[in-house]
Amino acid sequence: METKEIREIAVRAGRIMLCSGAEIYRVEDTIARICNSYGAECECFVLPTGIFVTVYGDNIESMSMVKRIRERTVDLHRIELVNAFSRGLMNKPLQYEDALEALDDIEKPHDWHLAIRLLASGMIAFALTILFNGGWKEGLAATVISMLIYMINSKISDLGIFRFFEYFVSGIIVGAASLVAIWIFPALNVYKIIMGSIMILVPGVAITNGIKDALHGDITASLLRLAEAVYITVAVGAGVGFMLSAGLRWL
Amino acid sequence: MTDILLAFASSFAGGIIFNIKKENLLWSGVSGALGWLAYSLLHRFTGDNTLSTFVGAAVVSIFSEGMARLLKSPATIYSIPGIFPLVPGIAAYTTFQYIMENKLSSAASKGIETLFSAAAIAFGIMLVYGVFRFASRLNEGNPGKS
d(CA A197, CA A185): 17
Q: Does A136 lie in the same domain as A84?
A: no
Predicted-complex ipTM score: 0.82
pLDDT for A76: 86
Give the HSE-up count for residue B122: Cα atoms under 13 Å, Cβ half-sphere.
23
d(CA A111, CA A90): 28
B7, B17, B89: residue with CB nearest A203? B89
Which is more confident, A60 or B132? B132
Contact B89 A112 (CB under 8 A): no
pLDDT reading at B77 higher than 70 = yes
Domain count, chain B: 1
Q: How many interchain CB pairs under 8 A, A with B? A: 155
Domain count, chain A: 2
pLDDT for A112: 78
Asked if residue B145 is part of any domain, the answer here is no
pLDDT for A4: 85
Band of residue B141 on the pLDDT scale cut at 50, 70, 90: low
Q: Does A131 lie in the same domain as A97?
A: no
Nearest chain B residue to A201, by CA: B89
pLDDT for A95: 85
Contact B73 A23 (CB under 8 A): no
Mutation pick from A207, A219, A234 vs chain B, by most beta carbons of B within 10 Å, is: A207
Residue that finishes a domain, picked among A107, A136, A155 = A107
Residues in A touching B87 (Cβ below 8 Å): 204-205, 207-208
Asked if residue B146 is part of any domain, the answer here is no
d(CA B138, CA B146): 13
pTM, rounded to two decimals: 0.83
| Dihedral of the alpha carbons of B40, B46, B49, B50, in degrees to the nearest 10 | -110
Q: Does A84 lie in the same domain as A152?
A: no
pLDDT for A45: 92
pLDDT for B142: 56
pLDDT for B34: 92
Residue that finishes a domain, picked among A44, A76, A107 = A107
Residue that finishes a domain, picked among A80, A107, A134 = A107
Q: Does A242 lie in the same domain as A144?
A: yes
What average pLDDT does this structure show over A35-58?
89
Band of residue A134 on the pLDDT scale cut at 50, 70, 90: confident
Within an 8 Å CB–CB cutoff, is residue A229 touching chain B?
Answer: yes
C-alpha dist (Å) from residue B84 to A86, A98, B15 = 28, 37, 9
A83, A204, A214: residue with CB nearest B87? A204
Band of residue B86 on the pLDDT scale cut at 50, 70, 90: confident
Residues in B touching A214 (Cβ below 8 Å): 122
pLDDT reading at A225 higher than 60 = yes
pLDDT for A103: 85
Give the DSSP per-residue string, B20-58.
Answer: --HHHHHHHHHHHHHHHHHHHHHHHHH--HHHHHHHHHH
Least confident of A120-129, A187-196, B45-54: A187-196
Contact B6 A76 (CB under 8 A): no
Asked if residue B88 is part of any domain, the answer here is yes
SS3 A189: coil
Give the HSE-up count for residue B129: Cα atoms under 13 Å, Cβ half-sphere.
19
Contact B122 A245 (CB under 8 A): no
Shortest CA distance to A195 belongs to which of A138, A246, A122? A138
Q: Does A171 lie in the same domain as A48?
A: no
pLDDT for B51: 92
Q: Distance from A9 to chain B by nearest Cα, in Å?
A: 20
Q: Does A92 lie in the same domain as A34?
A: yes
| Share of residues in chain A with pLDDT > 90 (%) | 10
C-alpha dist (Å) from residue B99 to A129, A167, A247, B93, B111 = 23, 18, 18, 10, 10
pLDDT reading at B68 higher than 50 = yes
Enclosing domain of residue B65? 2-140
What average pLDDT does this structure show over A233-249?
85
What average pLDDT does this structure show over A170-183?
88
pLDDT reading at A251 higher than 80 = no
Q: Distance from A126 to chain B by nearest Cα, in Å?
A: 8
pLDDT for B39: 92
pLDDT for B80: 87
pLDDT for A51: 93
Q: Does A102 lie in the same domain as A141?
A: no
Band of residue B57 on the pLDDT scale cut at 50, 70, 90: very high
Residue B78 and residue B99 in contact, taking contact as beta carbons nearer than 8 Å? no
What average pLDDT does this structure show over A86-98?
85
Enclosing domain of residue A212? 114-250
Q: Does A168 lie in the same domain as A246?
A: yes
Contact B92 A120 (CB under 8 A): no
DSSP designation for A95: P
- Tens of pLDDT along A57-85? 888 888 889 999 888 888 888 888 898 88
Contact B114 A207 (CB under 8 A): yes
Within an 8 Å CB–CB cutoff, is residue A121 touching chain B?
Answer: yes
Which is more confident, B3 or B107? B107
Q: Does A95 lie in the same domain as A18?
A: yes
Q: Does A185 lie in the same domain as A166?
A: yes
Nearest chain A residue to B17, by CA: A117
pLDDT for A53: 92
Q: Does A169 lie in the same domain as A130?
A: yes
What average pLDDT does this structure show over B12-37?
88
Residues in B touching A209 (Cβ below 8 Å): 122
Q: Does A191 lie in the same domain as A120?
A: yes
d(CA A167, CA A169): 5
User: Considering only residues 202 to 221 of chain A, which have any Cβ-Cβ distance to chain B shorter than 8 Å?
Assistant: 202-205, 207-212, 214-216
